[in-house]
Structure 1
Amino acid sequence: MTLLTILLLACITFGTRYLFLEGRLPVRLGPNLRLLLSYSGPSVLAAILAPILFVRSDQLALSASNPYLWGAAAAITAAYKTGNIYWTIGAGMLVFVAAGQLI
């Protein structure tokens, strides 16, 4: 049953991606649907990051001793100031490690 589920999900994933990536197929998205899909990346990223940043041991962790919050704040600031992905990652990692060592 598990193998069947994995194969079925693989076929569904391939099929949906193939429709949009194959240029010879007559599937075109309208402007409203394109606008709607442009929000999917940030939405998925927020859904992944929110539990990592704000939850510790099944409780909300909004204290100053949370190194994940310090790293995220540094990464957001670096992204806003520089617009460079490397500086953003470096600043976030540096502050996260430093906060983890100091707190």
Structure 2
Amino acid sequence: MIWLSILAMAAVVFASRYLFLEPQIPLRLGKTALRFLSYSAPAVLTAIFAPIVFVRDEQLSLGLDNPYLIAAALACGLAIFTRNALLTTLLSMAVFFIIH
């Protein structure tokens, strides 16, 4: 049953990607759909990182004793000022490992 579920999910993901990437299929999205899809990546990333950064021991943690919050704030600042993804990632990870 688990293998069937895995194969079914793989088929759904492959089909959804194939429909939009195959140039022979005349399927095009409208401007409204493309605009809505442009919000999906930030929404998914926010849903992933928000509980990691802001929640510790099942409670909201906004203090300076939260290394995840400090590293995330540093990463945001570095991303705004340097506009360099590699530098931002390396420096914020280094700060996180030092304080954690």
Please, what TM-score do these two structures have when normalized by structure 1? 0.92
Distance 2:88 2:39 in 1: 21
1:87 aligned counterpart, secondary structure: helix
Coordinate RMSD, CA, aligned: 1.0
Q: Which residue does 2:53 correspond to in 1? A: 53
Misfit runs of 4+, over 4 Å:
none
Q: Per-residue deviation at 1:84?
A: 0.6
Structure 1 unmatched runs, 5+: none
Deviation of 1:98 after TM superposition, in Å, equals 2.6
Q: Secondary structure at the match of 2:24?
A: coil
What's 2:82 paired with? 82
Q: Which 5+ residue runs of structure 2 have no aligned equivalent?
A: none
Q: Per-residue deviation at 1:81? A: 0.2
Residue in 1 that maps onto 2:64: 64
User: Aligned partners of 1:28 and 1:90: how far apart in 2?
Assistant: 39
Deviations along 1:59-101, one digit per CA (max 9) or x if unpaired, are 211111000011001100010001110111022112212322x
The count of corresponding residues between Structure 1 and Structure 2 is 100
Higher relative contact order, structure no. (Cα contacts within 8 Å, ≥ 6 residues apart): 1
